[in-house]
Amino acid sequence: MKPVKVGVLGLGTVGGGTVNVLKRNAAEIARRAGREIIITRASARDLNRDRICDTQGISLTTDPFDIINDPEIDIVLELIGGTTLAKTLVLKAIEQGKHVVTANKALIALHGNEVFAHASAKGVMIAFEAAVAGGIPIIKAIREGLSGNQIQWVAGIINGTGNFILTEMRDKGRDFADVLAEAQALGYAEADPTFDVEGIDAGHKLTILASIAFGIPLQFDKVYTEGITQITRADVEYAEALGYRIKHLGIARKTAEGIELRVHPTLIPHRRLIANVDGVMNAVLVKGDAVGPTLYYGAGAGAEPTASSVVADVIDVVRAMTGDPENRVPHLAFQADSLADIPILAPDQFHTAYYLRLHAEDKPGVLADVTRILASHQISIEAIIQKEPPAGKSSVPIIMLTQNTLEHELNAAITEIEKLVTVSGKVNRIRLETLG
């Protein structure tokens, strides 16, 4: 069969890594795909800059539409990121009858419903394995490997920057701001780290995982996101003393009332495998009714780890190019006309356990007042740590773990506790998941 011709939009980290993998492993890839795959064209904003890839034999252009409009190109790799130009290019490629492979989580999370509808109408494929967790084939695992299961929940460390920061805070006793500055110097975090440390990046990825796990439309606007900027060195140390570690998790859980979609700092028992995923690595836990919990671990970013997923998608597209479009694996795992209208729960309907830290006067009856308020909201206490007051201070830190409770009950209790004259400042809280 004639070779499949590929056009690459963007020759940055992921684009360059993809070119390297496709060239280096060309013979092996052809054996797997059944046809030779050749990169014939690529676009980049600056054709003169140094690159991590060899572009010999590839026709280069600064105009990505040159590739979209080239009738010889069979598959377009969208690796430029963003949601404006990228969306225009992808929709134009679909109109031209070209298959698309992308690593763009924001594009899929925000505009995937529209993109997939256009692709289905034109009979072309959109593949996006690299959009979540870099080199970990988590989308294929859920969409295909676990397709015989009812997925009960998904929980993942899906942002390496946040995981690096929390790991350094725990292992070296450093403060958040100090580690963030190092992450920026190392290139793990952007100059504006908001997407990483406030959970937006993880929210994009969780949106995709939830749709594939539960067969629902992509709904990023309903994901609850909470960052790690308020986590202190003291919180990390108290969590360790209680037998837990703090991780920034994306969690999608199906309940009788609806689906929880939430990204936030989470206490996890230190014995859990996912609690021991450190540095910039990613990991995703998936629990199916038949298989039970399964863990997927690996590099969540980087040139060739991400390229590994991009190239795997290219191979899948090539394998399916001669097949019947109706029999291809659906974009979101379920047939497009079978996506379920399951409600996404509001944050105050979440049902979890909590870590609470507050500062109170060191006098009799204070702890009793706090526990009385919690009990009035049907909140049971699992464990308490009460420290001696620091030298020269009149307030003492009190740390509590609660049993599972509804978030709106906890919010009401915290409001009452913060009104006590014996309690100073805000009550700090972190959700807790056993992930068993």
Residues with catalytic roles: 205
**What residue has token string 């202190």?**
232
Residues whose CB is less than 8 angstroms from the CB of residue 36 and which lie 6 or more positions away in sequence, other chains included: 3, 4, 26, 30
Phi, psi of 241 (to 5 degrees): -65, -30
β-pair partners for 395: 361
The answer to whether 214 touches 259, Cβ cutoff 8 Å, is: yes
β 244-254/37-43 pair status: unpaired
Give 380's Cβ-side CA count (13 Å radius). 3
Give 171: exposed, middle or buried? Use CB within 10 Å, 0-12, 13-18, 19+: exposed
Rg (CA), the chain: 24
Residues whose CB is less than 8 angstroms from the CB of residue 94 and which lie 6 or more positions away in sequence, other chains included: 100, 115, 118, 119, 122, 124, 126
The answer to whether 228 touches 152, Cβ cutoff 8 Å, is: no
Kindly report the length of the chain. 436
Burial track 206-245 (b if 16+ CB lie within 10 A, e otherwise) = bbbbbbbbbbbebebebbbbbbbeebeeebbebbeebebb
Long-range contacts formed by 168-174: CB under 8 A, 24+ apart: 169/231, 169/233, 169/236, 170/236, 170/240, 170/245, 170/246, 171/278, 173/233, 173/237, 174/233
Q: Six-digit token pair at 223?
A: 């994901």
Count other C-beta atoms under 10 Å from residue 375's C-beta.
12
Long-range contacts formed by 289-295: CB under 8 A, 24+ apart: 289/149, 289/150, 289/151, 289/152, 290/148, 290/149, 290/150, 291/146, 291/149, 293/435, 293/436, 294/141, 294/146
